[in-house]
Structure 1
């Protein structure tokens, strides 16, 4: 079950909550603060491997785990947010601003066993409606990746079908390769 705070909050009130940055992450959706489920081993391995694979295959983008993205009246924390380097706002010191106030270029979610798929899909659709170019919903129990792109129907990918990635990410990957990362006994 996903914990939620009972009262309706404004986005500004949510962003001032004292426990906001506790793990697992809290998200703000339609006036409610909702805590994401605690990641488990398979989730964490997939997240770690995706961040490394994307970062190793792009100079234009960076993959960031658990980046809070506040935009379009929501504050969400994708499992992996892929953002173009030139979209990260910098302080005068040259360091990045802490608050990321726009949709990521690519939002990746890894479905946890006790997570509601429609809630995650809703966040991916919100990202696409606010400028995100690509969304993935990875389902480790179904060994599938549901791919979302603007103005297109979602597409389920399994097996050896190449997965759609952002232009500028020189990565060829399919669902079989992603789920093979979980085969620790075959390393």
Structure 2
């Protein structure tokens, strides 16, 4: 179940909210703050494995868990935000700025039990409208991955169908491989591992 705060007038007020960074994360859209559901075991396994796979297959991008992305009057926290290294702002001591104020290059969401699919889809579409190149929504109950790309029809991938990834991420995966990671004791790895 997700929690929501009373109506918040604007994004700046939301970003000042004292409970903003508690776990699970809070998101802001259309004047309302909503807390994401707490991840469960399957969600966490998929998130961990995807982070490792993307990072191990690209020097141009980094995969970051639960990074707050605040842009275009919305503040969202994708399960995984894949961002080109050259888009990360660096401070005067050579470290990344704490606040990321753009859409990620690739936004990956993993549906949790009781999470509203339309809210997740809305966030993915918002990302695409503001420069995101790719979105995934994993449904662990359906063993499917919904692929979002700018100006392209949605694509539902299941089984052995190869998943689209960003150019610059040298990773070949299928939905079957991704959901195979949920089988206890299964060392189902990407083909080149």
Place the TM-score, normalised by the shorter chain, in its bin: over 0.9
Matches within 5 A, 1:29-40: 29-40=29-40
Deviation at 1:8, TM superposition (A): 2.8
Q: Distance in 1 between matches of 2:185 and 2:87?
A: 40
Deviation at 1:23, TM superposition (A): 0.2
The TM-score, its normalising length taken from structure 2, stands at 0.95
Deviation at 1:184, TM superposition (A): 1.0
Deviation at 1:185, TM superposition (A): 3.7
Deviation at 1:132, TM superposition (A): 0.1
Specify the alignment match of 1:146 in structure 2. Answer: 146
Specify the alignment match of 1:46 in structure 2. Answer: 46
> C-alpha offsets along residues 88-138 of structure 1, whole Å, 9 cap, x if unaligned?
000010000000000000000000011000000000000000000000000
Structure 1 unaligned spans of 5+: none
Q: Secondary structure at the match of 1:126?
A: helix
Q: Distance in 2 between matches of 1:15 and 1:121?
A: 23
Specify the alignment match of 2:59 in structure 1. Answer: 59
Q: Is the CA contact (8 Å cut-off) linking 1:9 and 1:33 kept in structure 2? A: no
1:114 partnered with 2:114: yes
| C-alpha RMSD over aligned residues | 0.7
The TM-score, its normalising length taken from structure 1, stands at 0.99
Q: Judge which range, 5-14 or 127-136, deviates more.
A: 5-14
Q: Distance in 2 between matches of 1:59 and 1:186?
A: 27
Specify the alignment match of 2:190 in structure 1. Answer: none
Specify the alignment match of 1:68 in structure 2. Answer: 68
Q: Distance in 2 between matches of 1:66 and 1:115?
A: 16
Deviation at 1:50, TM superposition (A): 0.2
Q: Distance in 2 between matches of 1:80 and 1:166?
A: 14
Structure 2 unaligned spans of 5+: 188-193
Q: Is the CA contact (8 Å cut-off) linking 2:24 and 2:35 kept in structure 1? A: yes
Moved over 2 A (4+): none
